Amino acid sequence: MPLSSLQVAFLGPPASFSHQAAAESFRRATADLVPHVSFADAFAAVQRGDADYAVIPFENSTNGSVVQTLDLLADRNDLYKDVKVCGEYYLTVHHCLVVRKGSYPGGLPSYDGSITKLYTHPQAWGQCDMFLSRYFKGVERQDVSSTSKGAEIVAKDTAEQGGAIASRFAAEYHGNGILAENIEDRSDNTTRFLILRNIQSLRTGEGYHQSLSIPPYLSAPAPAPASDPAPGQPQSETTHKTLISFSINHSSPGALASALLIFKAQGLNLTSINTRPSLKRAWQYIFFVECGRQPSNENKDAVLKALNDLRMVAESCRDLGTWRDQLGAETLQDV
Amino acid sequence: MPLSSLQVAFLGPPASFSHQAAAESFRRATADLVPHVSFADAFAAVQRGDADYAVIPFENSTNGSVVQTLDLLADRNDLYKDVKVCGEYYLTVHHCLVVRKGSYPGGLPSYDGSITKLYTHPQAWGQCDMFLSRYFKGVERQDVSSTSKGAEIVAKDTAEQGGAIASRFAAEYHGNGILAENIEDRSDNTTRFLILRNIQSLRTGEGYHQSLSIPPYLSAPAPAPASDPAPGQPQSETTHKTLISFSINHSSPGALASALLIFKAQGLNLTSINTRPSLKRAWQYIFFVECGRQPSNENKDAVLKALNDLRMVAESCRDLGTWRDQLGAETLQDV
Q: Which tens digits make up the pLDDT trace of A4-53?
A: 889 999 998 999 999 999 999 998 888 999 999 999 999 999 999 999 99
pLDDT of residue B221: 45
Q: Residue A270 and residue B285: Cβ atoms within 8 Å?
A: no
Question: What is the structure's pLDDT at B215?
Answer: 54
Interface of B with A (CB under 8 A): 60-65, 67, 188, 190, 192, 250-251, 253-254, 256-258, 260-261, 263-264, 267, 269-277, 279, 281-285, 287, 327, 329, 332-333, 335
The shortest CB-CB distance from B269 to any of A254, A261, A285 is to: A254
**Could you give the residue range(s) of every CATH 3.40.190.10 domain in chain A?**
6-92+189-218, 96-181
B61 vs A contacts (CB less than 8 Å): 277, 282-283
Section A236-241 average pLDDT = 79
pLDDT at B322: 93
Residues A144 and A139: their CA atoms lie apart, in Å, by 16
B60: which chain A residues are within 8 Å (Cβ-Cβ)? 277
Domain A96-181 belongs in CATH node 3.90.1660.10: no
Nearest to B257 among A270, A327, A329 (CB): A270
Position B238 confidence tier, pLDDT thresholds 50, 70, 90:
confident
Q: Is the CATH code 3.40.190.10 the one for domain B6-92+189-218?
A: yes
pLDDT tier for residue B204 given thresholds of 50, 70 and 90: confident
Q: Which residues of B touch A291 (CB under 8 A)?
A: none
Residues of B whose CB is below 8 A from A327:
283
| B281 contacts in chain A (CB < 8 Å) | 335
Report chain A residues touching chain B, CB-CB < 8 A. Answer: 60-65, 67, 188, 190, 192, 250-251, 253-254, 256-258, 260-261, 263-264, 267, 269-277, 279, 281-285, 287, 327, 329, 332-333, 335
Q: Which contacts qualify for B120-123: CB closer than 8 Å, 24 or more apart?
A: B120/B144, B120/B147, B120/B150, B120/B164, B120/B165, B120/B166, B121/B145, B121/B146, B121/B147, B121/B149, B121/B150, B121/B165, B123/B63
Q: pLDDT tens-digit profile of A179-231?
A: 999 999 988 899 999 999 999 887 776 545 544 445 545 544 444 444 444 44
A322-331, B128-137, B295-304: least confident range: A322-331
Q: What is the pLDDT of residues B25-65, one digit of tens each?
A: 998 888 999 999 999 999 999 999 999 999 999 999 988 99
Enumerate the residues of chain B whose CB falls inside 8 A of the CB of residue A261.
257, 261, 264
Calpha distance B273→A191 (Å, rounded)? 22
What is the location of CATH 3.40.190.10 in chain B? 6-92+189-218, 96-180
Q: What pLDDT, on a 0 to 100 scale, did the predictor assign at position A168? A: 97
pLDDT for B3 equals 60
Share of chain A above pLDDT 90, in %: 66
Q: At what angle do helices B302-313 and B255-265 cross, to 10 degrees?
A: 160
As a whole number of Å, the end-to-end CA separation of chain B is 46
Please compute the mean of the pLDDT values over residues B262-289 and round it to a whole number.
Answer: 91
CB nearest to A62's CB, from B62, B261, B279:
B279
Q: Per the CB < 8 Å rule, is B277 touching A250?
A: no
Query: Looking at chain A, which residues constitute the CATH 3.30.70.260 domain(s)?
Result: 240-334
Per-residue confidence (pLDDT) for residue B232, from 0 to 100 = 47
The answer to whether B246 touches B270, Cβ cutoff 8 Å, is: no
CATH of the domain spanning B240-334, picked from 1.10.10.10, 3.40.47.10, 3.30.70.260, 1.20.58.760 = 3.30.70.260
Q: C-alpha distances in angstroms, A97 versus A60, A111, A145, A168?
A: 22, 12, 17, 9
Q: Which of B1-5, B98-102, B116-120, B129-133 has the lowest mean pLDDT?
A: B1-5
Judged by CB atoms closer than 8 Å, whether chains meet at A275 and B270 is answered as: no
Per-residue pLDDT, B328: 56
State the CB neighbour count (10 A cutoff) for residue A1.
Answer: 3
Shortest distance between the Cα of B85 and any Cα of chain A, in A, equals 19
Indicate yes or no: CB of A332 within 8 angstroms of CB of B283: yes
More confident: B260 or B3:
B260
Distance CA A113, CA A119 (A): 16
- Assigned CATH topology for domain B96-180: D-Maltodextrin-Binding Protein; domain 2 (3.40.190)
